Amino acid sequence: MIRMNGKSVYKGIAVGPVVVLKKEDYRVKRTKTEDIEAEVFRVNEAIKVAQEELGNLYEKALKEVGESSAAIFEVHQMMLEDEDYLDAIYNMIRSQMVNAEYAVAVTGDNFSEMFANMDDDYMKARAVDVKDISNRLVKCLAGASAETDLSDEPAIIVADDLSPSETVQMNKEKILAFVTVHGSTNSHTAILARMMNIPALIGVPLELQNIHTGMQAVVDGFRGEIIIEPLDEIRERAIAKMKEENEKQRLLQELKGKENITLDGKKINLYANIGSVGDIGYVLENDAGGIGLFRSEFLYLGKSDFPTEEEQFQAYKQVAQTMAGKKVIIRTLDIGADKQADYFELGKEENPAMGYRAIRICLKQPEIFKTQLRALLRAAVYGNISIMYPMITATEEVLAIYGIVKEVQAELEKAEIPYKLPEQGIMIETPAAVMISDDLAELVDFFSIGTNDLTQYTLAIDRQNERLNDFYKPHHKAILRMIQMVVENAHKCGKWVGICGELGADTELTEQFVRMGVDELSVASSMILKIRKIIREMNMTE
């Protein structure tokens, strides 16, 4: 029996056989070639096949996990068109007179190493993607498909690491769980696992040479544990727990259509967080009452230029119309820090999380901000949209925003374009905003507390830094007291207040939030029914 712990990415239980995915060792041989142009031709043909495979993967991911997660395959398609990358391959073939496989593999290694050595975390993460597309090309050159074969029986996938394309191309029906030796909680693979609702552990220090396909295992996502070749009693206990979980899921379905109301009649709004139009399916499927956070910056990521006003208008309009009168809170651009898009040319900063980001960019570069505001005000005609501004630290910022909104209104009026000025609120995600929440409450229609950044700034913990995981304590008394203070200040002014950071979905705190007077919780769609259950079983007066 082998028992190991890692970090759980999605909580759930799985019991079954293991399939160990060893990276096929493509020992690409270096051969001399006389016919250089034939090798270049082979590269170009392989690119066509790879592009087609990626296009199919994108469509598959779009259906299964939504647009924001599928976007990675569009990024891979773009990388396959990157001139620097392709020139490096062609150059190597021509200058060293080598075979296509060798040129692709070596270029892939070089580019991947270059990305891995960059300071920027986003760029660092691209190292895996370059490796992924290079491996795909090598396989295409060998005439093999890059698809991963799984056994017919559903299995627990154990691997050193999994690339996003390996994850998404697997048949979901055949996967009981993912367990990887490497990977970070913010990796695309982790995000995909979460979206697919599959138990997943990362960072498990398994020695893969000791584990074989066909061995039995138990994965416990609640404890972050994998047990290989478990004793019968452990296996039976896990099966019982799994049945219990399945039954809980089934019972949760019965809560669809029911109110989020405590036994003594206090109602709470339960909304969902989304990153793209494609996520609305999950929102409706899980019966969320609205959208409490649409992270609009995802419209800007993975692109080579700013999205146009029309593009944004169509996206916001589609969300508003699909939600048919339910509240849709769209947060304005929160780019910067970990969310980078090259065309913003933000430059390198010592402390990007405390740097030129979010509302600061919008106030300094109002043209970018105005394009988004125009799209939002126009889309507001088609549904129940609210606008939310991120990273606020001062009342002056809110007043400056209102000045820009007024200019946009005047422009739209002059051009006789229909628009509506929606409800406007702010995110409370800096300690400064908490401390002046009494003044801010006078200026805005609502607050939504961003506990992810509020925790980072209050506890002085970089939320991206894996090494600080043990110090990142969102249950810290300081955070809970801040939430209480914000709720009190909002209510004194007759304004509503919600939580849209990850803490809002923390079921250990649901009752406490309701008692504090929080009016709304905006969470991952998959958490809506679980939280509804807690609310419906609690009593405020107890």
Active site amino acids: 188, 500
Q: Which amino acid is at 454?
A: L
**312 or 456: whose CB is closer to Mg ion?**
456
Find the shortest distance in angstroms from Cβ 527 to ligand PEP. 14
Using the contact rule CB under 5 A, the part of the chain among 33-41, 90-98, 218-226, 451-459 near Mg ion is 451-459
Report if residue 461 touches ligand PEP, rule: CB under 6 A. Answer: no
CA distances from 443 to 66, 139, 387, 485 (A): 36, 59, 14, 17
For residue 524, state whether it binds ligand PEP (rule: CB under 6 A).
no
State both tokens at 80: 């396959």
Name which of Mg ion, ligand PEP, none residue 501 binds, using a CB cut-off of 5 to 8 Å depending on partner kind: ligand PEP
> If binding is defined by CB under 5 A, does position 504 make contact with Mg ion?
no
**Torsional class of 294: left (φ above 0), alpha (ψ -120 to 50), beta (otherwise):** beta
Footprint on residues 324-383 left by ligand PEP (CB under 6 A): 334
**Shortest gap between Cβ of 273 and ligand PEP (angstroms)?**
7
Closest CA to 268 of 6, 524, 510, 541: 510
The verdict on 422 binding ligand PEP (CB under 6 A) reads: no
Choose the binding region for Mg ion from 102-110, 293-301, 349-357, 453-461 (rule: CB under 5 A): 453-461
Q: How far is the CB of 337 from Mg ion (least distance, A)?
A: 9
Q: Which of 89, 69, 77 lies closest to 129, judged by CA?
A: 77
- Return the number of other C-beta atoms located less than 10 Å from residue 203's C-beta: 19
For Mg ion, the closer CB: 73 or 122: 122
**How many Å separate Cα 368 from the centre of its chain?**
24
**C-alpha span between 113 and 95 (Å, rounded):** 22
Q: Which is nearer to ligand PEP, 39 or 334 (CB)?
A: 334
Segment (H or E) for 75: helix 67-79
* Contact pick of 453, 506, 519, 520 for Mg ion (by CB under 5 A): 453
**Nearer Cβ to ligand PEP, position 146 or 392?**
392
Any contact of residue 452 with ligand PEP (CB under 6 A)?
Answer: yes
**What does 53 bind: Mg ion, ligand PEP, none (CB cut-off 5 to 8 Å by kind)?**
none
Smallest distance from Mg ion to CB 453, Å:
4
**Residues 409 to 438 in contact with Mg ion, rule: CB under 5 A:** 429
Is residue 520 a contact point for ligand PEP (CB under 6 A)? no
Q: Is 77 near ligand PEP (CB under 6 A)?
A: no
Q: What residue spans of 254-394 are helical by DSSP H?
A: 280-285, 309-322, 359-364, 366-379
127 or 432: CB nearest ligand PEP: 432
Task: Name which of Mg ion, ligand PEP, none residue 295 binds, using a CB cut-off of 5 to 8 Å depending on partner kind.
Answer: ligand PEP
Tell the smallest beta-carbon distance from residue 373 to ligand PEP (Å): 19
Q: In the bound complex, what is the minimum distance in angstroms from residue 523's beta carbon to Mg ion? A: 15
Nearer to ligand PEP, 278 or 501 (CB): 501
Nearest approach, Cβ of residue 386 and ligand PEP (Å):
15
Q: Which of 6, 450, 474, 498 binds ligand PEP (CB under 6 A)?
A: 450
Least CB distance from residue 372 to ligand PEP, whole Å?
16
Nearest alpha carbon to residue 120 among 389, 348, 329, 431: 348
The three-class DSSP label of residue 200 is strand
Q: How many chain residues touch ligand PEP (CB under 6 A)?
A: 10
Is 132 a residue that touches ligand PEP (CB under 6 A)?
Answer: no
Token duo for residue 162? 């999994």
CB atoms within 10 A of CB 49: 17
**What is the closest distance, in whole angstroms, from the C-beta atom of residue 454 to ligand PEP in the complex?**
6
Distance (Å, rounded) from C-alpha 422 to C-alpha 415? 19
Give 542: exposed, middle or buried? Use CB within 10 Å, 0-12, 13-18, 19+.
exposed
The answer to whether residue 451 forms part of the interface with ligand PEP (CB under 6 A) is yes
Asked if 359 and 485 count as a contact pair (C-beta separation under 8 A), the reply is: no
Residue from 450, 474, 498, 504 binding Mg ion (CB under 5 A): 450
Q: How far is the CB of 382 from ligand PEP (least distance, A)?
A: 25
Site string for ligand PEP, 293-332 (x = CB under 6 A): x-x-------------------------------------
Part of the chain binding ligand PEP (CB under 6 A), chosen from 408-416, 433-441, 449-457, 475-483: 449-457
- The span from the CA of 137 to the CA of 77, in Å, is 12
Instruction: Pull the structure tokens for residue 369.
Output: 């901000």
Q: Is 462 in the site for ligand PEP (CB under 6 A)?
A: no
Distance CA 258, CA 251 (A): 13
End-to-end distance of the chain based on CA atoms, in angstroms? 46
**Which secondary-structure segment (H or E) carries 62?**
helix 36-65
500 binds, among Mg ion, ligand PEP, none (CB under 5 to 8 A by kind): ligand PEP
Structure tokens at 222: 């609640």
474 binds ligand PEP (CB under 6 A): no
Among 501, 513, 514, 527, binds ligand PEP (CB under 6 A): 501
- Give one DSSP letter per residue of 358-424, joined into a string: THHHHHHSHHHHHHHHHHHHHHGGGSEEEEEE-S---HHHHHHHHHHHHHHHHHHHHTT------EE
Enumerate residues 6+ apart whose C-beta is below 8 A from 137. Answer: 43, 46, 47, 50, 80, 104, 108
Q: Using the rule CB under 5 A, is 498 a contact of Mg ion?
A: no
Interface with ligand PEP (CB under 6 A): 293, 295, 334, 429, 450-453, 500-501
Binding site for Mg ion (CB under 5 A): 429, 450, 453
